Structure 1
């Protein structure tokens, strides 16, 4: 039977999409039922109803859980976009009745999560304490698709150097917030902190923590070593976890990299120190990304304003 807007709209309900989305997130019908406070048969019934509307399976069940069919991926992408609009509608109505409240989901990268983001969140809570904020940390290949379909309202992080040529630039825009530099750091008692370190070559033989391949920061690091005509260090751990990296550097031997703002913040706690190379190492611009095709709710609009205010304070504090 051919599907149409009329036939689907008569049958499909938003709560069914919520259940479908939760099943995919949970990876199993049982876990989704527990999270939604439903019985497993009730969740199974909802999935069967949705599949009957589209006259094809959306999920493949196995002993390991569930996975999406090709059609299921199409339906999930559109369902999440509709649920994002429903969340925005709910926030708009709530704001009309009670003032700014609601829920904003923010994606962030290492470049902003330790310094700019906390300041922006404090400013938001000063203005609208009722707003619920969910923070999702990840890389661009995870956060940009989520922003496009509406799972995430805004993403704060480094602007890719090749942004104009990227596919995402057609559907996403960004507010330019500030320019960030890069610091090479180690434990505060690293032996070379008391010596004249003039280049990467002085540090290359030490153990290093590098960003994973494919991340924006890794491309920057690869460029730094290439410009210095040096191979990447041989003794490497790949990690983007700030807490893990700082802990590893407490051996007073391992060297790592952090955005300068983050390095300054952590240096004040005595755990790490930055090496000085004379000329600052450029990291790139930091921006607040948003979707062109979706009107943000009041909570997201307010948070976007708070990121701009936070960036102004950020720059003044340098």
Structure 2
């Protein structure tokens, strides 16, 4: 590692009661590792859940897993990128050897580690994106990002856009299908645009009328309450999921992506599932191919949809605490520029 990248780097650390600024020593890189300078990190809803107490996470820790940056040092020639590359990176770091990884479910690796979810007192201290630098260990999927893509467009690819891509894969072929998106947050509006690009007729529902109106700029039409072929839920609301299940037409498919915290159970009528050939499935995290597909999707639609408008102007790293809160209508992601 060269003299420029050696030494200390500032990080905003979640302590369980607030954010503290720490100077953390940059470790020596191991084989296959990358050291990345974080250019912009966006604030995902899961981080808001952590600081609000809705989600348990390691503590103290450097949060943040949705970001874009430049590689400033590599462990060796086996590293997946070169110095100077502009990249986004996956949330999950799998072992690549367990039965789940072998079956293609690396996102649910038996010993998975996750960017922005590890203890700051563990060997992987620089694991989150709310720091000037992050270490990406061997096994982290990375995707190169075009220089022409704004940071505010690229950063969400690492979580929101890639997760949407996984959800649409689970939904199956969408050309000519009626698709209902439940929840018009960052994932919902992204899914609306992505489903439209796959030839679907898309509607979006959200309890926030402003967010529902905003989805129109991403290809969504007015919801008329009619039957649907595919419903994708990003809301995590049991009531919304129950309602969406009741709207599926024969052969319909329900994809659950937002139910990532405990909630009331829903009622499923087995006879209705059988007689109507219904499919209910779920996705959590995503596979490396989805990260690459997410970058390609954003690159191909950068002139068609107002992606950059969804992200609030960044605050400095030292002001991270000020944006760890729900964003106002119209802004779906806060951001930090370390």
**TM-score class normalised by the smaller sequence:** under 0.3
Q: Could you say which structure has the higher helix fraction?
A: 1
Structure ID, larger Rg:
1
TM-score between the two structures when normalised by the length of structure 1: 0.28
